[in-house]
Amino acid sequence: MRERFIILFTGFAAVLLVRNLYVMLVKLPDEAAQGAIFRIIFFHVPAAWTSFLCFFAAFVCSILYLAKRNLRYDAVALATTEVGLAFAAGNLITGMIWGRIIWGIWWTWDPRLTSMLICWLLYAGYLMLRRAVEEPSQRARISAVLSIFAFVDVPIVFFSIKWWRTQHPQPVVWGGGTMDPSYWNMLFLNWVPLILLAVVLILIRLRQEEAQREIDAVRRWAHAL
């Protein structure tokens, strides 16, 4: 069943991405002020949204793990965090490339950029912490606490452009930013394949984590023979 979902979602995401790339590069005109570089927004923003969704799922699963002590929640939290981190890296790098052209600099210690970098580092720390703790239930408990703590940064990233004076453009979905409807549609249309890809990667990582736990259990049983 899971294999079928993975194949179906991957195929659907691939078709949508090819279609979106065609529309983005051939049909949509350059933005009047920014030119071609504006199109980075079609990956930059959906990558951020996807990573936030993943971190939210990790947050919920971490709370559920602490409440129910079921290691399956810990496995889902791990898988969603890893995938969220990959998308967050994509968001940070595309932002830097856009900034190089529009601002003339790769990086600035702006509240939005800094809080997003902190978010990335917190979740990277989560993955490093997991490697440092051997005992599975202790690892799951400590990681769940860190995941809940790390999620505090996500609303800070989201609201940073409202709370502080920032160089980052105002949000187009909610806030002072505006966008032509054709750009607007593409932003959401390109989010769909990224979500599908995230689900596929989470399902694959989850399967690996379950396999790892089974292998560890059989190894313990084999040593006990």
Partner 1 sequence: MDERNFTYMFYGFAAVWLCLAAYVVSLAAREKRLRQQLDGLRKLVEDRGEKR
| Interaction residues for partner 1, span 109-148 (CB under 8 A) | none
| Interaction residues for partner 1, span 151-210 (CB under 8 A) | 197, 201, 204-205, 208
Query: Cβ distance 171 to 30 under 8 Å?
Result: no
Among 15, 36, 105, 152, binds partner 1 (CB under 8 A): 36
Q: Is residue 15 a contact residue for partner 1 (CB under 8 A)?
A: no
Among 9, 20, 39, 52, binds partner 1 (CB under 8 A): 39
Binding track over 83-102 against partner 1, x by CB under 8 A: x--xx-xx--xx--xx-xx-
Segment lying near partner 1 (by CB under 8 A), choices 108-116, 128-136, 181-189, 211-219: 211-219
Q: Is residue 49 a contact residue for partner 1 (CB under 8 A)?
A: no
Q: Angle CA(198)–CA(4)–CA(82) in degrees, nearest 5? A: 25
**Nearest 10 degrees: Cα torsion 10, 38, 57, 122:** 120
The structure tokens listed for 157 are: 């990233």
How far apart are the C-alpha atoms of 109 and 124, rounded to whole Å? 20
Query: Cβ distance 173 to 152 under 8 Å?
Result: no
How far apart are the C-alpha atoms of 50 and 196, rounded to whole Å? 10
Q: Could you give phi then psi for residue 6, rounded to 5 degrees?
A: -60, -45
Neighbours of 120 (CB within 10 A): 19
Residue with tokens 């750009």: 183
Pick between residue 4 and residue 220 the one whose CB is nearest to partner 1: 220
Q: How far is the CB of 85 from partner 1 (least distance, A)?
A: 8
Q: Is residue 53 a contact residue for partner 1 (CB under 8 A)?
A: no
Q: How far is the CB of 11 from partner 1 (least distance, A)?
A: 16
How far apart are the C-alpha atoms of 162 and 10, rounded to whole Å? 36
Contact set with partner 1 (CB under 8 A): 34-37, 39-40, 43-44, 47, 82-83, 86-87, 89-90, 93-94, 97-98, 100-101, 197, 201, 204-205, 208, 211-212, 215, 218-219, 222-223, 225
